[in-house]
C-alpha cells in the first residue's frame, strides 16, 4: 500500500515536470561539457502556480507525516524563490495556520562569492524551527550553505526538502532530507556517449524546446 502511494506521487511529479518541459528527454550538451539524455529546469514548472502548489503540497504532506513542523521555510535564491513560497502556502494549508501565526516564506540571497545572507528586514529568531528547500538537489551545495547560515543565526534547521534528489545519495545534510523523487541521471563524455555513437548530435538544453 505504502509502495503504491509513493509510486503514485512519483508519477504525478514526473507528469507535471514533463508536461511543462521542466524535465525533457533528448540529447543534450550540458554546460559542464558532458552529454545527457535528460535535462531539468524547474523554473519551467514553477511558472505555473497551480502546478508549483501541487508539488509543494506533496512535499509538505510528507514533511508533516514525518512529524516535522517548521515555522519558517527558507530557499536559496534565485532558484527556489517561487518554490519556497509554494511550500510555505502548502504548509499553512496543511497546518491550518493563518495571520501572524503563519509559517513564513523567506529567501536567502547570494551576496558575494557564493555567500548567502538573509536581508531586507527579515529576521530569523534563535531556536526557530526552519526547513530549507530547493527544487532539484544535484550536490546540495547551495542548500548546505543556507543550512550553515541559519545555524550561525541560531536557528534550529529541522529538515531539508527537494522535489527531486538526483544526488545519488551524495547529498547529506545531517538532518532529515525529504524529496518527492530520487533519480539517477546519467551523463557521458562525448567519446563515451551512446547517443553520439548512434549518430545523433547533442544540442544545448532549451534549444529543442524554443524551436518547437
Which residues of the shown chain bind Zn ion in the complex (CB under 5 A)?
Answer: 35, 193, 195-196, 202
Q: Which SS3 state, helix, strand or coil, does residue 129 take?
A: strand
A 10 A CB-CB count for 32 gives 8
Q: With respect to Zn ion, which residue has the nearer C-beta, 30 or 153?
A: 30
Q: Confirm if 87 and 105 have CB atoms less than 8 A apart.
A: yes
Quote the least distance from Cβ 18 to Zn ion, whole Å: 21
Residues 6 or more apart whose CB falls under 8 angstroms from that of 126 comprise: 153, 154, 155
Quote the least distance from Cβ 187 to Zn ion, whole Å: 10
Q: With respect to Zn ion, which residue has the nearer C-beta, 26 or 176?
A: 26
Quote the least distance from Cβ 33 to Zn ion, whole Å: 11
CA atoms within 13 A on the CB side of 142: 23
Q: What are the strands, taking DSSP E only, across the chain?
A: 23-29, 35-40, 72-76, 104-112, 115-117, 129-137, 156-165, 177-182, 187-188
**Kind plus residue range of the DSSP H or E element containing 48:** none
Give the Cα separation of 75 and 131 in Å (integer): 9
A 10 A CB-CB count for 105 gives 22
In this chain, which residue has its C-beta nearest to Zn ion?
A: 193
Q: Confirm if 84 and 135 have CB atoms less than 8 A apart.
A: no
Cell of 193: 556517449
Cross-strand pairs, 74: 106, 132
Q: With respect to Zn ion, which residue has the nearer C-beta, 113 or 191?
A: 191
Q: With respect to Zn ion, which residue has the nearer C-beta, 35 or 104?
A: 35
Quote the least distance from Cβ 19 to Zn ion, whole Å: 26
Q: With respect to Zn ion, which residue has the nearer C-beta, 25 or 47?
A: 25
Quote the least distance from Cβ 195 to Zn ion, whole Å: 4
Q: With respect to Zn ion, which residue has the nearer C-beta, 9 or 195?
A: 195
Amino acid at each position: 500500500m505504502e509502495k503504491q502511494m509513493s509510486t503514485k506521487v512519483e508519477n504525478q511529479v514526473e507528469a507535471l515536470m514533463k508536461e511543462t518541459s521542466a524535465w525533457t528527454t533528448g540529447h543534450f550538451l550540458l554546460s559542464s561539457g558532458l552529454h545527457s539524455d535528460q535535462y531539468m529546469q524547474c523554473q519551467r514548472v514553477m511558472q505555473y502556480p497551480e502546478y508549483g502548489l501541487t508539488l509543494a503540497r506533496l512535499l509538505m504532506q510528507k514533511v508533516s507525516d514525518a512529524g516535522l513542523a517548521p515555522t519558517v521555510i527558507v530557499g536559496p535564491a534565485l532558484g527556489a524563490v517561487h518554490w519556497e513560497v509554494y511550500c510555505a502556502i502548502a504548509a499553512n494549508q496543511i497546518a491550518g495556520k493563518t495571520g501572524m501565526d503563519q509559517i513564513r516564506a523567506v529567501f536567502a540571497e547570494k551576496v558575494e562569492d557564493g555567500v548567502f545572507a538573509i536581508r531586507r528586514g527579515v529576521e530569523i529568531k534563535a531556536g526557530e524551527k526552519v526547513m530549507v528547500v530547493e527544487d532539484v538537489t544535484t550536490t546540495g551545495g547551495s542548500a548546505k550553505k543556507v543550512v550553515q547560515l541559519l545555524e550561525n543565526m541560531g536557528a534550529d534547521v529541522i529538515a531539508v526538502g527537494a522535489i527531486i534528489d538526483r544526488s545519488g545519495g551524495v547529498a547529506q545534510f545531517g538532518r532529515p532530507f525529504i524529496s518527492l523523487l530520487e533519480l539517477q541521471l546519467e551523463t557521458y563524455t562525448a567519446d563515451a556517449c551512446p547517443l553520439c555513437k548512434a549518430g545523433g548530435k547533442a544540442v544545448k538544453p532549451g534549444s529543442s524546446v524554443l524551436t518547437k
